[in-house]
Amino acid sequence: MVDYEAWWLILIPILFGLGWIAARVDVRQMMSETRQLPDSYFKGLNFLLNEDHDKAIDAFVEVAKLDTETIELHFALGSLFRRRGEIERAIRVHQSLLSRADLPKNDRDHAQHELAQDFFKAGMFDRAEEAYKAVLDSSYAVPANRALIRIYEAEHDWPKAIEAVRHLHTILDEPIPQLIHYHCELVQQSMQSKQPDVNYINEELKKAEQALLKQQGELRSNAAAVRIAILRSKLMKIQGDSLAERKYLEGIMANAPEYAGLVAADLLANYKTGQQAEAGLDLLKQHYLNHPSLDLFKIVFSELRAQQGAAPAWHFASESLRLHPSLLGLDKLLEVELKAAADGEKPNASDRVLPDVELSLLHKMIHKHTQRLDRYSCSSCGFEARVFYWQCPGCNMWETYQPKKLEEM
């Protein structure tokens, strides 16, 4: 027992001494490597920390010239170039890395992915597509798939976008809400052709509905459901089934009343086709009283004036604007009145609600201030448009437009 303790008393100092020697060697090696780094490297880091990107780039370029083996520094340079919009220089950096035969696979995939991002930011979608496809079997598969989806969306290549989503599902089990809209876009394209393929449209709508059913709880898209119902109503109209068309449109009014302004004109036209114009107007008028909106206001006022004359229409308008004051609403009202005058309509003296006011001058004054209010706005990027979009033309995000004009927001 005594010998055992003595042995440990000897061993402990030896181990301590070996550790001290190893630490000294590591410190000397670190100091040696630090001395070998050019001063430009530290200058570049300093400039980068101070967010002086121009001087940082110049310093790092100098280091890269002195030591071509600094792979990570090349990646940093390429990223800086791309961030500053110097895409050509970023492309050259990443292509020079890919030209190296000794580049490890992980670094090669990294360089390929960076090059794809360069092409994408430059708007060279064809070259970006090929570059992203080259890393689909690497650790960059998920971001590459997402980027390909963005490319196909920008190009409106919906079949490829659907295929990219399917491929992404094999890697990552997460919902892709815009898949519903891809099928809806294919339906819309077919409907706009001279001879819509009814069978094809029906199949694509079924696929959109199946994608919607897979969404659960809060992920369930009300906007997507509305769009499918709108397209279903249009398909019924193509097939000459006015009752089925009305059923879908009234379903939207009941289940998603905020979207009434998008379908009110079609619903009113459906009622007119069935010789039920008064019933259609009553339905829209009642819906407006419960769920007022500027789009619906214009349709109701215009139809009320056409069916019953100026006095009832202006009475409805004055009551509506009293409850929901709106310059844009007044602008729409005057627009309808001026159109009636331009069409040659001459109301009786008793129907002239504003006999002493020059309607044209009043409309010009108001319209000048309401032009910027008569728009839909993207909640993601703020892009404003006169028509409603399911996909924002500015940022390409889906379902970012509310069915309300700016004045109502």
pLDDT at 97: 79
The most confident of 67-71, 370-374, 399-403, by mean pLDDT = 399-403
Q: Whole-structure pTM over 0.85, yes or no?
A: no
The CATH number of the structural domain formed by 68-174 is 1.25.40.10
Task: Indicate whether 331 pLDDT > 60.
Answer: yes
Task: Indicate whether 404 pLDDT > 70.
Answer: yes
Task: Indicate whether 208 pLDDT > 80.
Answer: yes
Residues 6+ apart with CB under 8 A from 57: 44, 77, 80, 81, 84
Q: Does 395 show up as a binding residue in the annotation?
A: yes
Residues 6+ apart with CB under 8 A from 383: 377, 392, 393, 394, 395
Q: Does 378 show up as a binding residue in the annotation?
A: yes
- Report yes or no: 379 and 298 within 8 Å, Cβ to Cβ: no
The model's pLDDT over 334-347, given as tens digits with 9 standing for 90+, comes to 666 666 666 655 55
The model's pLDDT over 125-159, given as tens digits with 9 standing for 90+, comes to 999 999 999 999 999 999 999 999 999 999 999 99
Beta bridge partners of 384: 377
Residue-wise over 244-265: b if at least 16 C-beta within 10 A, else e?
ebbebbbbbbeebeebbbbbbb
Q: Does 392 show up as a binding residue in the annotation?
A: yes
144 backbone φψ class: left, alpha, beta (φ>0; ψ -120 to 50):
alpha
The domain spans of the chain are 2-36, 68-174, 175-289, 292-371, 375-409
